[in-house]
Amino acid sequence: MSEGLTFHFNVDGEDFTSAGQASVMMKKNLRQLGLPPEIIRRVSVAMYEGEINMVIHAGGGVADVNVTENYVEIILTDSGPGIKDIEQAMQEGFSTATDSIRSLGFGAGMGLPNMKRYSDYMHIDSEVGKGTTITMRVNIN
C-alpha cells in the first residue's frame, strides 16, 4: 500500500433504516486491506457516527475515505443546516435531535464526542445554512 486508496460513498438522507451502510462497506474494505482490528473498529465507529449524524441532521451527504500508509482519513460532507456552536455540540450529552430520533437509539449527544474519541485528529468546518465538513484521521502506526 505505497499509494493511498480512495473510497467514495453517497449517504442517503431519506432512510434511517439504511443509515450506516457506507460504514459497513468501508469496514469490509479495511478488513480486505488487512488493517489491524483496533484501527478498523476506530475508523468504523467514527464513520458510522458521522454517517448517522448526516442522516439525522443534514438529509444525507457524501463520505470520502482515503487509506494511506500512515493513516485512514474520513471526510464527511453535507449541505445541511450547519452547526451553530461547535464547542457546545462537542459536549457529551448535548443534542438537538428530536424525541423520535432518540426513540431509535441515537441523539444522546454522544455522536461528535465519539467521533473525536475514536479519531486521532478531527476538524469540523461548518457554516450555518451552508453545511458541514468533518475531517477525521485515525493513525495506523
Partner 1 sequence: MKISTIKELLDANTVCGEEQLSRHVYSACGSDMMSDVLAYVKDQAVLLTGLVNSQVIRTAEMMDMNCIVFVRSKVPTAEMIELAKESGIVLLTTSKRLYEACGILYSNGLIGNRVKD
Residues that bind partner 1 (CB under 8 A): 16-20, 23-24, 27, 37, 41, 44-45, 48-49, 52, 102, 104-111, 113-114, 117
Radius of gyration, alpha carbons of the chain: 14
For the bound state, the minimum distance from the C-beta of residue 30 to partner 1, rounded and expressed in Å, comes to 12
Q: In terms of CB distance, is 56 or 67 closer to partner 1?
A: 56
Q: In terms of CB distance, is 3 or 38 closer to partner 1?
A: 38
For the bound state, the minimum distance from the C-beta of residue 39 to partner 1, rounded and expressed in Å, comes to 12
**Residue at grid coordinates 461548518:** 126
Q: In terms of CB distance, is 45 or 67 closer to partner 1?
A: 45
Adjacent-strand bridge partners of 123: 135
Give Cα 101 distance to the centre of its chain: 17
Residue 83 burial class via C-beta count within 10 angstroms: exposed 0-12, middle 13-18, buried 19 and up:
buried
**Residue at grid coordinates 482490528:** 37
Distance CA 113, CA 47 (A): 12
Q: In terms of CB distance, is 16 or 75 closer to partner 1?
A: 16
For the bound state, the minimum distance from the C-beta of residue 19 to partner 1, rounded and expressed in Å, comes to 7
